[in-house]
Chain A
Amino acid sequence: MSGRARVRARGIIPGHGAREVGCAPGDLTASSIASPGDSQALSSGTSSISQPPNTGISNDDGGRTFTERGKVRRDVIDLSVCTREKLAHVKDCKAGSSGIPLQLVTNLFSLDLPQDWQLYQYHVTYSPDLASRRLRIALLYSHSKLLDKAKAFDGTILFLSEKLDLKVTELTSETQRGETVTITLTLTTQLSSSSPVCIQFFSVIFRKIFKKLKMYQIGRNFYKPSEPVEIPQYKLSLWPGFAVSVSRFESRLLLNADVSYKVLRNETVLEFMTDLCLRTGMSHFTETCQKQLVGLIVLTRYNNKTYRIDDIDWSVKPTHAFQKRDGSEITYMDYYKQQYNITLSDLNQPVLVSLLKRKRKDSSEPQMVHLVPELCFLTGLSSQATSDFHLMKAVAEETRLSPVGRQQQLARLVDDIQRNQVARLELETWGLHFGSQISLTGRVVPSEKILLQDHTCQPATAADWSKDMRTCKILSSQPLSRWLIVCCNRAENLIEGLMSCLRRVGGPMGFNVGYPKIIKVDEKPAAFLRAIQLHVNPDVQLVMCILPSNPKNYYDSIKKYLSSDCPVPSQCVLTRTLTKQGMMMSVATKIAMQMTCKLGGELWAVEIPLKSLMVAGIDICRDALNKDVVVVGFVASINSRITRWFSRCVLQRTAADIADCLKVCLTGALNKWYKHNHDLPSRIIIYRDGVGDGQLKTVLDYEVPQLLSSVTECSSGASSSRLSVVVVRKRCLLRFFTETGHTVQNPPLGTVVDSEATRAEWYDFYLVSQTANRGTVSPTYYNIIYDDNGLKPDHMQRLTFKLCHLYYNWQGLISVPAPCQYAHKLTFLVAQSIHKEPSLELSDNLFYL
């Protein structure tokens, strides 16, 4: 069916059919802290995909809909998963005690209510029944009985802050036409301030307030487009704003606000297409266009809605007609002229197709809208843009806020709310008192020593101990004697220099590098691959490829072949990297360390008091080429020292980002552990990263049992290992600052917060394990959802901190426990380059570093 026919068949009006604001990826949380050890951190850390917006509550002032669609915000769903009550050892107290207490300021704000505050929910019916929501609302609002009361009504459900005298109240009202209507209000529930409905209700109130402050809601955040930050050279505008959430923390209702930026591209989709056409030429144009645009979020010029591009229909032009809901036909061109007084300049452009999430009442098919490229602006950063180092740097310059800058923005927000009369009135009528910034006491856990072969060092700073270990021997390494270097002719002269540097840094490290076999090839991806296929045999320990610029084609085919078809560790280096003057020694050090790890070596350790402990990390992401495929990475330690790892990656076809291969992964790891230690680990602690809002219950109900069944089956009679599962979150709205005099700073490394900013329902804590040189540090959030080990909170926190020291790609602390980062690195390689499961022969080596 042609696009036109499709539209006609469903009778959809562009722009009109859409009622909801689409999700808005590319929201930039202003943190953008790149964990320096992670090469992808800059891109993955800066542009966070915001969750699709909740649809439970809309906030048209004409009438709000509270629960009629029966959906509850996803993070609210998570809160109903009360995991702590099942964990006996933390039921009374989940706080640790070790370390030095530290006063911290947060980005939480008090939202106080009178002691006995309740929200009264009424069900409202009309007799005779009224179909029009507007009329229902108008009649109720104008009734004298309710005139001075704080009320919110969506046409069916009414909220009042004061209880009416009777359980059932009948009101009589007259329509403008003189008809008498009886309105019956029936009290259905009394809600305490902690109930989920109530919390959603507060969110609605704040949404209204932000609107009054002339902010626009996009996705879940609020932005001020009137005060943009421009980055003209990249055609970008950044709209400053806030990510806000109201929820119940440990003991009280709090508002959490963090600075956020919305990225807008100062070009229409049509302009983007025209440029692309010039770049690619016609033959690949439609294909490339599809690839670049599908999935992006656009903002239309004639309303405030955002849409996801799901398809491009090249057969439909603005001169084509479509059927309006009333049955009449009109061309797109005339429609926009009539409706919005917009004249389209290009009548040959195709249309963008967007499928709306919300379905129409009468059909199961998702609703579809056609959008005209000329009237759509691109939002967010493309993958192209996020991989452009200079662009990302320019964006970071603008969005990276120091603690002081952030604190100023927050203070301004609070000030704006408190000064705005309408906003203040809105809060007052509901009895809400919005005010002070919350301070709390955290703790700084002791710093860790780094254990090397015959030396223990106490780094000057845990952020980077590369200097401290410059002359130290690493724990263990395999000598590298049988290896290849594949390069093109032009790069041959670089090899001598690289080799001498590798030897110079390898010697003190204890990593012996023999002379490689050098293979010269043409500067073509196929030539590299052919040479590798020809020369690599099982005897080869490692293949190094020196790649020319634009390495993506080379990289993917080489990694695919050497990770899966012919499993041999590989090291790719860019020619560009080897020509950096004065950097050779540090480049060589990094390469030497990576090669050591890829050969199964161990670099350093920290002291782990628990013997027989296995730690594992799980991360999940979508395959870059095939979005139906989920890539699950599982990395587990296989020795007590936690220096050797078992890595496995599984591809699965599932709609949800939930793993169903965990049993086989953990069993594989336990077998490996048994092989090395002739016993099973007595404790297993698993860190699960990549859990989205609303998925907590699924992880608990679906993933934890897989892990448990693996543990039970492996133990077979003997006392089985005890399991703990920790959900790890790098992105949370929460920030902590230390106050010194009149200024605020980032908290020190090792800061733990396990009270007030945590949740009563969960056994959770925050840990600061990374530094931010110029920006504001983002704490990592840990939620222990399953815990047979019963370790003291103190020990759990410290163990987690220790594990953040063990990522061998960075000589310093990182933001998550090392197994999570390994799992992330593994899934990233598979999802971006390999697209199939790497060979298990490599599972003993960190081949993906």
Chain B
Amino acid sequence: MEVAEKNIPCNSVVGGNFEEVCSEKVIRFKPPLYKQRYQFVRDLVDRHEPKKVADLGCGDTKLLKLLKIYPCIQLLVGVDINEEKLHSNGHHLSPYLGEFVKPRDLDLTVTLYHGSVVERDSRLLGFDLITCIELIEHLNSDDLARFPEVVFGYLSPSMIVISTPNAEFNPLFPTVTLRDADHKFEWSRMEFQTWASRVADSYNYCVEFTGVGTPPAGFEHVGYCTQIGVFRKNSGKLAEPFVSQQHDQHVYKAVYTTSYPSLQQEKVLKFVLVGELLIQVERLRLRHQRMLREQEKELDPKPGDTDFSQAPHLLLGEVFTEAEKARIENSPQPFCEGEKFCIPLRRLLAYPKLHRLCVEEDRMRSLIADSVCLSNDGSAIVVDLHNSWDYWPEDN
């Protein structure tokens, strides 16, 4: 965090994700405050590994975009009352092209709903984490009153994060009364904590208070620029998915939805399995070839052959842990049958990149059967030991 004295005209306040700026004194958070808020949520996700996460008041879906990379999350939902924003930002949440080549382990569905956070929609039931970042200060008093019973009472997720401006920090911004024209209020720490504790009590949650945006030296007494309450459900258990058909209540309009390719999908698993398998087979084949070459060389040493002595300081490829090494060494060895090179499936499954796919040998056999050539008993993959990658220009 740094405070700089500068004369910057007061025009860089944009939307919700602004840097607090004023004409005489610039308080510049580093990283910017909005990023700190998002980082706070990311740290929570890292720590608690929620499966289902919803961001209420997701706006331009920036936070969702950051969260979609977490492998633990399988359902990611954004809700906002600005439908246009959801429409125009939806495609930012679609999988990256690279995710079709190296897919995720677990399924992920991202959905954006148009609707108000004070309406009940059963599709948001049973979540592990619901975030309301800089949301409540935009609610009018009626909505604010209904907010706890919907989010805490009805949706009742395992964890809720609520962030809101700390009004005590505002005097450090010279001209600011409210930080945004749409803010209906900005609370002091006392006001927020009182409200939050009351809500937590009524719905059986416990709450801890923290914040982001540390105040400058000498102003520690004003507290964080953004105050945050982290609410956790007291039952201690993760919420059970109790979406029953009877209570289905679909008031939100789904504006955008996308599903990610993942190893949970048979087609994708097959694609990744065969891909990793062939890479490993090729590697073993090349290693075997090289071994044969070296053996030949030992029989017929040629002077000046310095193939391995002057290797640059490079170490490419996987580095195995002791446990992985042991697993590989304890698996059956590849072997040669004439010009054919055979690699037992069990050997292949010992390599970390295949091992992590957690596929049984039998399942593997059936998945790869139409993509590779198997030995008669089906226990090994068979390839030509020498397959020329030389090229053949046509005769001319």
Which residues of A come within 8 Å of B, CB atoms? 39-40, 61-62, 128, 130-132, 134-135, 138, 174-179, 211-212, 214, 216, 218, 225-226, 228, 230, 232-233, 235, 237, 239, 264, 266-268, 270-271, 273-275, 277-279, 281-283, 285-286, 299-304, 314, 326, 340-342, 345-346, 348-350, 375, 377, 384, 387-389, 422, 549-552, 555, 571-574, 576-577, 591, 594, 849
Contact = CB atoms under 8 A, between A and B. Distances in A.
29 contacts: A128-B11, A135-B11, A175-B11, A178-B181, A225-B95, A225-B100, A232-B372, A237-B101, A279-B389, A281-B290, A281-B308, A282-B314, A300-B98, A301-B99, A301-B101, A301-B102, A302-B69, A304-B98, A326-B30, A340-B69, A346-B318, A377-B101, A384-B391, A387-B391, A387-B393, A422-B87, A572-B395, A573-B395, A574-B395
B98 A282 contact: no
A230 B271 contact: yes
B13 A175 contact: yes
B12 A132 contact: yes
Contact of B316 (A39, A178, A346): A346
Interface in B152-191: 180-182
A266 B101 contact: yes
Given A177-B13, A233-B371, A326-B30, A279 B396 contact: no
Given A302-B98, A304-B96, A267 B13 contact: no
B376 interface: no
Most buried by B among A277, A375, A384: A277
Contact of B13 (A176, A266, A303): A176
Contacts of B318: 345-346
A302 B69 CA distance: 9
B285 to A, nearest CB: 9
Contact of A341 (B15, B69, B87, B371): B69
B203 interface: no
A285 B314 contact: yes
Interface of B: 9-15, 30, 69-70, 87-89, 91, 94-102, 180-182, 258, 261, 271, 274-275, 278-279, 282-283, 286-287, 290, 306-308, 310-312, 314-319, 371-372, 388-396
A228 B395 contact: no
A132 B14 contact: yes
A235 B10 contact: no
B310 A282 contact: yes
A235 B89 CA distance: 34
Contacts of A574: 392, 395
B96 A131 contact: no
A212 B282 CA distance: 40
Contacts of B97: 216, 218, 225, 299, 304
Contacts of B275: 232, 235, 266-267
B97 to A, nearest CB: 5
A283 B311 CA distance: 6
Contact of B317 (A237, A274, A279, A573): A274
A214 B390 contact: no
Contacts of A283: 306-308, 310-311
B87 to A, nearest CB: 7
Contacts of A342: 69
A346 B319 CA distance: 8
A330 to B, nearest CB: 12
Contacts of A552: 390-391, 393
A232 B275 CA distance: 7
B283 A278 contact: yes
Nearest to B87: A422
A283 B304 CA distance: 12
The B interface, classified by DSSP as helix, strand, loop or mixed, is: loop
Ordered nearest first, which 3 A-B pairs have the shortest CB separation? A39-B394, A301-B98, A282-B311
B101 A264 contact: yes
Contacts of B181: 174-178
A214 B278 contact: no
A132 B393 CA distance: 57
A39 B311 CA distance: 40
A278 B318 CA distance: 13
A237 B101 CA distance: 8
Given A39-B393, A216-B97, A233-B371, A348 B87 contact: no
Contact of A273 (B9, B13, B316, B390): B316
Contacts of B87: 422
Nearest to B96: A304
Contacts of B316: 270, 273-274, 277, 346, 348-349
A258 B354 CA distance: 39
B100 A226 contact: yes
Given A175-B181, A275-B283, A375-B98, 19 more contacts: A39-B394, A62-B88, A131-B11, A225-B95, A225-B97, A232-B372, A279-B389, A302-B96, A303-B96, A314-B314, A349-B316, A377-B98, A387-B391, A387-B392, A549-B390, A552-B390, A572-B395, A572-B396, A576-B392
A839 B334 CA distance: 54
A375 B69 CA distance: 14
A216 B258 CA distance: 14
B15 A138 contact: yes
Nearest to A829: B396
A571 B94 CA distance: 56
A212 B256 CA distance: 10
Given A235-B275, A277-B316, A226 B261 contact: yes
Given A232-B278, A275-B282, A275-B286, A214 B94 contact: yes
Contacts of B279: 235, 267, 271, 275
Nearest to B308: A282
A178 B176 CA distance: 11
Nearest to A301: B98
Contacts of A275: 279, 282-283, 286
Contact of B312 (A228, A232, A314): A314
Nearest to A277: B316
A178 B372 CA distance: 67
B392 A348 contact: no
A555 B396 CA distance: 9
Contact of A235 (B95, B258, B278, B395): B278
B392 A389 contact: yes
Given A176-B181, A301-B102, A341-B70, A130 B11 contact: yes
Given A61-B91, A301-B96, A594 B396 contact: yes
Contacts of B271: 228, 230, 232, 237, 266
Contacts of A377: 98, 101-102
Given A176-B182, A555-B393, A232 B371 contact: yes
B115 to A, nearest CB: 19
Residue in A39, A134, A285, A341 with the greatest tally of chain B CB atoms within 10 Å = A341
A86 B395 CA distance: 46
User: Taking each of B30, B307, B312, B314, which has the highest tally of chain A beta carbons within 10 Å of its own beta carbon?
Assistant: B314
A299 B396 CA distance: 37
A230 B9 CA distance: 56
A145 B290 CA distance: 74
B26 to A, nearest CB: 15
A724 to B, nearest CB: 32
B19 to A, nearest CB: 12
Given A274-B316, A304-B96, A282 B283 contact: no
A575 to B, nearest CB: 10
B354 to A, nearest CB: 14
Nearest to A422: B87
A849 B96 CA distance: 47
B314 A348 contact: yes
Nearest to B268: A228
Identify the interface centre among B258, B372, B389: most chain A CB within 10 Å of its CB: B389
Contacts of A270: 316
Nearest to A342: B69
B76 to A, nearest CB: 14
Nearest to B383: A233
A278 B286 contact: yes
B393 to A, nearest CB: 6
Contacts of B102: 268, 301, 377
